[in-house]
Chains A and B, each alone.
Chain A
């Protein structure tokens, strides 16, 4: 049953840059009451649909790959987004962007809605070669578990400068979890963000090119610049470089998983800045590239974004919770406690505008 479908970027991918050069009209999503700000990548329509409001659905489904388009749903809108463990949700029928990084997951307004949707879509998919058969879990039942006794690793310094409101609101959330019995401990990512991004990018460019090679060779003039640039990047990658990225991925993932031993979750920012204006092309790319999601796209850990408040300009801030592999119930239980965060639910004031 088709419940509804949304627009997205060409093939749901790009480079993070916005060119608005496609030969059909596109209605820009609003963000904070205006259309003047970047709303994120390919999943921006899905997160916009799921954020709530009159005549809007209570959830949407999206896919998460890494780099430019993976993070969009986890940082811009006031929606909650969840990237389950790699392999937990089958992908048969979804147009692939990158076979070894793509993850399908829900976007919704609450942790409970995420749990309900995950209950419905998780499970082994025999038509997806990367699907993993794990014992079924009752995600909704986990919501009341609380956080008492949980150790949560707080990544105060993710390796790039982070906007003060993003950090302040994340620390506010950490204190809120601590007040409910969680033990907050400092955590440092084992490697720089650049190390994860290099492996993620090589894998993403290579596989995406392999998927769309025929279209690029035959019809690249019909592509927008963002997609064509990505195809061009994948065109010249050597096999040995792709395999180096995949070998490095295994090492990075194992290392990160070991570092998370004993923790119920990590808490860290999604992005280093809040949504920039669409007229600032460099900031739009920086918003995408200077994000902290690549480690978990590489490692396959489940990650969940949640709104934490707003900055001084009324732009939403977000944090991400990262759980142990295939421990979505615990992650959702923590997320449910975050919902009781006494934070502003609406921006202080935003001047409506348009482009």
Chain B
């Protein structure tokens, strides 16, 4: 498990500004906050594997030249 971020309107607005997203109105900000929280909650439910050698499922595999 990892710490679960709790998104505030201020945090969402700051994150959006940092990453180039314009917030057109309060409704957009509210929805963005709700979706960010949904993602954080889902992420918090994922177990963190103990072994540092456990690789992600989708790893790069080089292919021979065609």
Q: Do the two chains belong together in a single complex?
A: yes
Are B31 and A229 in contact, with the CB atoms below 8 A? yes
Could you give, for residues 31-52 of chain B, a 1 whenever the CB lies within 8 Å of some chain A CB and a 0 otherwise?
1100110111011011111000
CA distance A245 to B32 in the complex (A): 22
Q: Is the interface of B mostly helix, strand, loop or mixed?
A: loop
Are B36 and A246 in contact, with the CB atoms below 8 A? no
CA distance A235 to B18 in the complex (A): 12
Inter-chain contact total with CB atoms closer than 8 Å: 87
Tell me whether A241 and B46 are in contact in the complex, defined as CB-CB below 8 angstroms, given that A235-B19, A236-B39 are known contacts: yes
Residues of A229-286 at the interface with B, using a CB-CB cut-off of 8 Å, are: 229, 232-238, 240-241, 243-251, 253
- Residues of chain A within 8 A of B58, CB atoms compared: 99-100, 203, 246, 249
Are B36 and A236 in contact, with the CB atoms below 8 A? yes
- Residues of chain A within 8 A of B54, CB atoms compared: 247, 250-251
- Residues of chain A within 8 A of B56, CB atoms compared: 243, 246-247, 249-250
- Residues of chain A within 8 A of B24, CB atoms compared: 221
CA distance A203 to B43 in the complex (A): 10
Name the distance in Å between A309's Cβ and chain B's nearest Cβ. 35
Interface residues on A, range: 35 or more
Tell me whether A217 and B39 are in contact in the complex, defined as CB-CB below 8 angstroms, given that A247-B55, A251-B54 are known contacts: no
Name the distance in Å between B33's Cβ and chain A's nearest Cβ. 9
Tell me whether A240 and B42 are in contact in the complex, defined as CB-CB below 8 angstroms, given that A246-B56, A250-B54 are known contacts: no
Tell me whether A250 and B39 are in contact in the complex, defined as CB-CB below 8 angstroms, given that A198-B45, A235-B32, A236-B7 are known contacts: no
Closest to B66 in A: A126
CA distance A194 to B45 in the complex (A): 9
**Most chain A CB within a 10 A radius of its CB, from B2, B7, B45, B55:** B45
- Residues of chain A within 8 A of B21, CB atoms compared: 216-217, 235
A317 within 8 A of B: no
Tell me whether A199 and B46 are in contact in the complex, defined as CB-CB below 8 angstroms, given that A232-B31, A246-B57, A246-B58 are known contacts: yes
A201 within 8 A of B: yes
A17 within 8 A of B: no
- Residues of chain A within 8 A of B46, CB atoms compared: 198-199, 202, 241, 244-245, 248
CA distance A312 to B51 in the complex (A): 51
A205 within 8 A of B: yes
Are B36 and A233 in contact, with the CB atoms below 8 A? yes
CA distance A247 to B55 in the complex (A): 6
Are A247 and B49 in contact, with the CB atoms below 8 A? yes
Tell me whether A247 and B36 are in contact in the complex, defined as CB-CB below 8 angstroms, given that A221-B24, A236-B15 are known contacts: no
Question: Which of B12, B39, B57 is in CB contact (< 8 Å) with A205?
Answer: B39
- Residues of chain B within 8 A of A222, CB atoms compared: none
Name the distance in Å between B52's Cβ and chain A's nearest Cβ. 10
B interface, CB within 8 angstroms of A = 2, 7, 12, 15-16, 19-21, 24, 31-32, 35-36, 38-40, 42-43, 45-49, 54-58, 63, 66
A sample of 27 inter-chain contacts (CB < 8 A) reads A99-B58, A100-B57, A126-B66, A201-B42, A202-B39, A202-B46, A205-B39, A228-B31, A229-B31, A233-B35, A234-B39, A236-B7, A236-B15, A240-B2, A241-B39, A241-B40, A241-B43, A244-B43, A244-B46, A245-B43, A246-B58, A247-B49, A247-B57, A250-B55, A250-B56, A251-B49, A251-B54
